[in-house]
Amino acid sequence: MLDHIIKTRRSVFPAQYTGEPIPKEDILKIIESARWAPNHRKTEPWRYQILTGKALERLGNFMATSYSQTEGYKKF
């Protein structure tokens, strides 16, 4: 099974996104697996924050504001 998964893995790019929400159960499975990914500093398990709804919107607004302040972007 793992051999099949590795050989058939493909990247997904923004143009291929459907806009459909990913089921919470799928996200939790993915994150649980990703937490144990090895790294050179042996700092696993990694920790993640999943943002949705208003929290994701607030993060996007914060990042846009920070970017415009540091890069000198001006709104017209």
Dihedral Cα 51, 25, 36, 34, nearest 10 deg: -60
Cα separation, 72 vs 76, in Å, equals: 13
pLDDT digits (tens, 9 = 90+) for 23-48: 999 999 988 888 777 777 777 677 78
Name which residue leads in pLDDT, 73 or 10: 10
Structural tokens at position 53: 């709804």
Contacts of 74 (CB under 8 A, 6+ apart): 68
pLDDT at site 75: 60
Secondary structure of residue 11 in the 3-state scheme: coil
> Does the pLDDT of residue 76 top 60, yes or no?
no
